[in-house]
Amino acid sequence: MTNPDVPTVPVGAVPGAFDSVEPAAGAPPAILLDVREDDEWRLGHAPGALHIPMADVPARVDELDPDADIYVVCRQGGRSLEVVRYLANIGYEAVNVGGGMVSWQQAGRPLAADGEHEPRIY
């Protein structure tokens, strides 16, 4: 899902810090904000991502570093699109991760899971 009014990047543009790779020296801080529901998060998520379900973002926005590059992701891109709009309206700069965690898994980016099961998105 895309919208010309909302900045969107492909999963390949998300920094390697979320692949459990050490970020480059001097690189700006980055946040991968996963706005999926708790059950989706438990099944599989990007290592190092910050999990705040979409409905909780307004109450927890103070957990976001306003100076960080904020990449917002959900399952396929619809919820993250709305969260990017919301963050822009309150003064944050954020980008939508096109294709969401489905594209993340398809691209072979690493996944982590809560519990003993194999991480998966779909």
CB count in 10 Å sphere of residue 23: 14
* Region at 88 (left for phi over 0; alpha for psi -120 to 50; beta for the rest): alpha
Active-site annotation holder among 74, 83, 84, 95: 74
Q: Is 28 one of the annotated active-site residues of the chain?
A: no
Would the CA dihedral through 33, 22, 109, 15 be positive or negative?
positive
Picking from 83, 74, 31, 84, the residue whose alpha carbon sits closest to that of residue 55 is: 83
CA 62 from centroid of its chain's CA atoms: 16
- What does the alpha-carbon distance between residue 14 and residue 82 come to, in Å, rounded to a whole number? 19
Active centre residues (catalytic) = 74
